[in-house]
């Protein structure tokens, strides 16, 4: 698996898109630091961008990489390699190179700005960690979708739909259900609702840490009340880990049964 990971990683490192992605984050954080001149405010603005954008890039990159390397995958399948190591290697290659662009692109400007001397360092690290989690989650979802759809266009469309649903539509539906059922106790429902969407979960996680009650919203408030800040952090971390494990498990399961 490590050899496949190595080749996928090098392959992506040579592609222009990794650099575009890296440059984008570099620019974004430089501009934000310029405009805000305050580290913790910049962290909040960054969070709003990252939480929508990282899943989108992870999804598109994952699907694109899978379909583009199809021929290469077929070449590998005829070699004495396990299927699980081929696909996990490719998945980790994509997820790691994307995470690297994210961490370096955001990290470098903040470090130069004096992150280590500021007390925003923990908030910032949490932001980077959730960003990495989201990359791993959505790349895994993208690989799942691509493995299940032979048709490229269908796969792409479906992947974008999943992103759109989790990033935007889910929140709308969630809010509507809260309004419609306002006469009922909704704590449990909103807790479960947040757990089932990795994007919402990341948002709540970061806001809990930043401790900005004004931005927490209803779910965040329930979360905080229910779990308390520290326990809430741990529970949401566990949920994020599960969000990585299940799609990865399905990649292994699906790839073992697929015909090429």
Token digits for 153? 């266009």
In this structure, what DSSP letter does residue 251 have? Answer: H
* Under rule CB under 8 A, residue 152 binds other proteins: no
Taking CB under 8 A as the criterion, the residue among 2, 185, 192, 259 binding other proteins is 259
Provide the Cα torsion 206, 134, 41, 231; round to 10°. Answer: 10
* Under rule CB under 8 A, residue 72 binds other proteins: yes
Taking CB under 8 A as the criterion, the residue among 81, 128, 186, 189 binding other proteins is 81
| DSSP letter string, 113-153 | HTGGGSTTHHHHHHHHHHHHHHHHHHHHHHHHHHHH-SSHH
* Under rule CB under 8 A, residue 154 binds other proteins: no
Q: How many residues bind other proteins (CB under 8 A)?
A: 23
Instruction: Please return the burial class of 78, using the count of CB atoms within 10 Å of its CB with bins 0-12, 13-18 and 19+.
Output: exposed
**CA-CA-CA-CA torsion sign (198, 201, 206, 209):** negative
Shortest Cβ 97–other proteins spacing (Å): 15
Taking CB under 8 A as the criterion, the residue among 49, 77, 212, 245 binding other proteins is 77
* Under rule CB under 8 A, residue 150 binds other proteins: no
Shortest Cβ 8–other proteins spacing (Å): 10
Neighbouring residues of 244: CB distance < 8 A, sequence distance ≥ 6: 133, 136, 137, 140
Count the helix, strand and coil residues of the chain and give each as a percent rounded to the nearest 5.
Answer: 90, 0, 10
CA 31 to chain centroid, in Å, comes to 23
Q: Between 3 and 154, whose beta carbon lies closer to other proteins?
A: 3
* Under rule CB under 8 A, residue 104 binds other proteins: no
* Under rule CB under 8 A, residue 20 binds other proteins: no
Taking CB under 8 A as the criterion, the residue among 76, 96, 134, 222 binding other proteins is 76
Q: Between 184 and 260, whose beta carbon lies closer to other proteins?
A: 260
Taking CB under 8 A as the criterion, the residue among 20, 38, 49, 74 binding other proteins is 74
Taking CB under 8 A as the criterion, the residue among 5, 11, 57, 233 binding other proteins is 11
Judge contact between 203 and 171, C-beta under 8 A: no
Q: Between 86 and 205, whose beta carbon lies closer to other proteins?
A: 86
Shortest Cβ 3–other proteins spacing (Å): 6
* Under rule CB under 8 A, residue 2 binds other proteins: no
* Under rule CB under 8 A, residue 250 binds other proteins: no
Please name which of 158, 141, 148, 121 lies closest in space to residue 254, comparing C-alpha atoms.
148
Judge contact between 43 and 127, C-beta under 8 A: yes
Token digits for 254? 């699906």
Task: Give the binding site for other proteins (CB under 8 A).
Answer: 3-4, 7, 11, 14-15, 69, 71-72, 74-83, 257-260
């Amino acid at each position: 698996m490590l050899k496949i990971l190595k080749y996928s990683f090098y392959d992506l490192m040579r592609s222009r898109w990794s650099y575009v992605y890296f440059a984008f984050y570099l620019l974004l954080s430089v501009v934000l630091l310029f405009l805000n001149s305050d580290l913790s405010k910049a962290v909040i603005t960054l969070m709003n961008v990252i939480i929508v954008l990282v899943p989108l890039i992870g999804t598109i990159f994952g699907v694109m990489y899978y379909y583009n390397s199809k021929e290469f995958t077929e070449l590998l399948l005829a070699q004495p390699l396990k299927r699980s190591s081929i696909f996990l290697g490719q998945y980790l290659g994509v997820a790691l190179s994307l995470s690297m662009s994210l961490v370096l692109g955001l990290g470098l400007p903040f470090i130069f700005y004096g992150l280590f001397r500021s007390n925003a360092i923990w908030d910032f690290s949490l932001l980077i960690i959730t960003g990495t989690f989201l990359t791993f989650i959505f790349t895994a979802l993208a690989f799942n979708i691509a493995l299940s759809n032979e048709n490229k266009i269908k796969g792409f469309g479906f992947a974008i739909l999943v992103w759109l649903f989790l990033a935007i539509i889910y929140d709308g539906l969630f809010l509507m259900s809260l309004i419609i059922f306002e006469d009922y106790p909704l704590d449990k429902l909103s807790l479960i609702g947040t757990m089932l969407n990795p994007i919402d979960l990341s948002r709540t996680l970061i806001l809990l840490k930043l401790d900005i009650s004004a931005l927490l919203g209803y779910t965040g408030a329930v979360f905080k009340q229910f779990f308390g800040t520290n326990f809430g952090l741990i529970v949401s971390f566990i949920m994020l880990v599960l969000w990585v494990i299940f799609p990865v498990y399905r990649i292994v399961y699906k790839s073992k049964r697929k015909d090429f």
